Amino acid sequence: MEESIFYKRVRKLATDLGKSFNQIEKELGYSRNALSNYKTQTMPSAIRLLELAEYFDVTPRYLLGMDKICSKNHEERDFAEFLFKSLDKNQKIEICKFSQNWMLQELKEEQSHN
């Protein structure tokens, strides 16, 4: 059987933290192998989903495979990067021009206040 997206994402997040499932289960007060049981089985309860999302500092939607963006802390940067990658070359050039003009305007305003 193929691993569930939920399991794959939890496993990757655990690896990124340098923690084993057993360590995480102990920290959260889960029974042994609670996380491994999601490998091919049903999805977690809503409460467990929220606990794990909070633990890993990600959105529940990410854990469920509904979003590609994972981190709440880096959500804006990740979202901007995700959007930027989806643009074609001309759109990227326009964004860069817009950003440059915006930065120049900000600098002018800052200098006028000093």
pLDDT tens for 58-94 read: 888 889 888 776 655 555 566 667 677 778 888 888 8
Model pTM? 0.61
Contacts of 24 (CB under 8 A, 6+ apart): 14, 30, 35, 55
Nearest to 5 by CA among 54, 55, 47, 58: 58
Quote the domain boundaries for residue 40: 5-63
51/91 same-domain check: no
At residue 20, the pLDDT reads: 95
At residue 61, the pLDDT reads: 86
**How many domains are contained in the chain?**
2
Q: What's the average model confidence in pLDDT over 21-48?
A: 90
| Cα 46 from Cα 54, distance rounded (Å) | 12
CA torsion sign, 103 to 104 to 110 to 114? positive
59/79 same-domain check: no
Residue 56 in any domain: the answer is yes
The per-residue pLDDT of the chain, averaged, comes to 85
